[in-house]
Amino acid sequence: MKGRFVGVMTTSAAKISPAQKHQCRWHIPGPLAAVLGMRSTVFQTLEHASTPVRRPLRVPWLTPLLALYMLVVLLLDLAIELGVAVGVCYVVAVALAYFRHHLPFVWCITAASVLLVILGFSFSPVGGEVSKVIANRVLALLAIGVTAWFVTRTMASEARQLVHETELEQQVAVRTDYLARQSAELRDANAALERSNLELSRFAYVASHDLQTPLRAITSFLQLVQERYADHLDPEAADWICRTLESAARLKTLIDDLLAYSRVDSQPRAPVRVSLNEVCDEVVALLAEEINAKRGSVSREALPTVRGDRNQLQQLLRNLIENALKFHGPDPPGVHISCRALGDNWLLTVEDNGIGIAAEHQPRIFEMFRRLHGDREYPGNGIGLALSRRVVERHGGTLQVESQPGGGSRFSFSLPRG
């Protein structure tokens, strides 16, 4: 609608109270926009019901004060001879209208000042040169116009900033709410996953524990048959019994490893201070017979004290050292354990001179029951590194490997400081 002011209130999705609808977006007609040197100004003080927005300072008694001031200036202008630039005093009224923070009010004060300057020119006493009189009045009108333009631009800038801040607050509120919902859903999913993993670990523990009793019975009866009826068995039957006993022994080893894996989560212990020097020496003493049989060596640097489960950390080092002793090349196996500080953690490394691991196979070695070699070449059940990774993860770290075929392997893992 041209030729008049049209106020368009821009609202958000939230309900806005009447007190919050004080300022709005005003479209200025073309002629006045050309005079003021602007196209439009935006004023908006939309607020969230729960988020306060910065409000400008308001002077409630400003309107009567400006009316009185402009009346006094008019009386002075009418009482003084033409040629004196009393009309410039109206600039003060236009400037003070800024503190009303209402654009139509500024325009009204500007229009009233222009009319009063013209009125003063028409009814003031005659005096002075005509050119001087006209120059003074033009100066007054120019000062009023420039002041009104500056006040309008300032209010428009503040309003745009306020609208921008409000929009940012709305966006932040929406994003915060979205992230809060996502975080809650992620927490619920993690909690469900942890419960599922714990239930699976307990099931594996119970199942493995219950399997040992019938397995022991099978093994015992087969051994009795082998001992009592050895003279009555032909070579083929004796061979079958030996193979069955070997399979039972492998099954017992597998069950024991499953029990050890399930205990990592099903039977957690509170973390305590653990001296890795003592743990490493205990593991080397337990493996001394195997180390001597293979003419191998295990060396270490000074290791720190960490916080964790002593039994699990002992199992971790034992698995890594046993792997290094098992997968060795033509030379006697050599294992070296080192450590260095890494932020709030210790980074430990178990390095060997074994056969190494190809890059494409490295992610697979930490999977359950995943084996890269046949049982006759390198016996085992493929659960040791999976157990080691689970122990490290339970202690808040990660287990990684660096290796190449024929160049040995380097297993690194982090543990919290003690």
Read off the CATH number of the domain in which 396 is found. 3.30.565.10
pLDDT of 310-365, one tens digit each?
A: 888 888 898 888 888 888 778 888 999 999 888 888 899 999 888 888 777 777 77
Residue 83, pLDDT score: 54
Asked whether residue 294 is assigned to any structural domain, the reply reads yes
12: domain range? 6-177
pLDDT in tens, 215-232: 788 888 888 888 888 777
275 and 223, same domain (yes or no): no
CATH of the domain at 210: 1.10.287.130
**Per-residue pLDDT at 192:** 83
Q: What is the pLDDT of residue 204?
A: 66
Question: In what order do the strands lie in the sheet containing 297-300?
Answer: 297-300, 334-342, 345-352, 409-416, 399-403
> Same domain for 219 and 281?
no
Last residue of a domain, one of 234, 265, 296: 265
Query: Are 285 and 257 in a shared domain?
Result: no
Kindly give, in sequence order, each residue whose CB lies less than 8 Å from that of residue 229, ignoring residues fewer than 6 positions away. Answer: none
Give the end-to-end CA distance of the chain in Å, rounded to a whole number: 76
Q: Is the dihedral of CA 130, 133, 136, 139 positive or negative?
A: negative
Residue 226 covered by a domain: yes
369 lies in the same domain as 282:
yes
Q: Which residue has the tokens 């308001």?
A: 58
Residues 79, 144 within the same domain = yes
Do 22 and 140 fall within a single domain? yes
Q: Is residue 343 part of a domain?
A: yes
Claim to verify: residue 367 and residue 293 sit in the same structural domain? yes
In a domain, 193, yes or no: yes
According to the 3-state scheme, what is the secondary structure of the chain? Answer: CCCCCEEECCCCCCCCCHHHCCCCEEECCHHHHHHHCCCEEECCCCCCCCCCCCCCCCCCCHHHHHHHHHHHHHHHHHHCCCCCCHHHHHHHHHHHHHHHCCHHHHHHHHHHHHHHHHHHHHHCCCCCCHHHHHHHHHHHHHHHHHHHHHHHHHHHHHHHHHHHHHHHHHHHHHHHHHHHHHHHHHHHHHHHHHHHHHHHHHHHHHHHHHHHHHHHHHHHHHHHHHHHCHHHCCHHHHHHHHHHHHHHHHHHHHHHHHHHHHHHHHCCCCCEEEEHHHHHHHHHHHCHHHHHHCCCEEEECCCCEEEECHHHHHHHHHHHHHHHHHCCCCCCCEEEEEEEEECCEEEEEEEECCCCCCHHHHHHHHCCCCCCCCCCCCCCCCCHHHHHHHHHHHCCCCEEEEECCCCCEEEEEEEEEC
| Position 183 in a domain | no
In the chain, the number of structural domains is 3
Tell me which of 230, 250, 265 is where a domain ends. Answer: 265
The whole-number pLDDT of residue 45 equals 35
Query: Do 314 and 378 have their domain in common?
Result: yes
The identity of residue 373, as a single letter, is: H
Please indicate, yes or no, if residue 293 is contained in any of the structural domains.
yes
Is 1 inside a domain boundary? no
Last residue of a domain, one of 113, 146, 177: 177
Q: Do residues 368 and 346 share a domain?
A: yes
Residue 17 and residue 155 share a domain: yes
CA atoms within 13 A on the CB side of 393: 11
Q: Please tell me whether residues 298 and 393 are part of one structural domain.
A: yes
Residues of the chain with pLDDT under 50: 1-56
Q: Record the tokens describing residue 229, joined without a space.
A: 């009826």
| Inter-CA distances, 323 with 52, 293, 388, 393, Å | 64, 15, 11, 19
Q: 114 and 34 share a domain? A: yes
The answer to whether position 184 is within a domain reads no
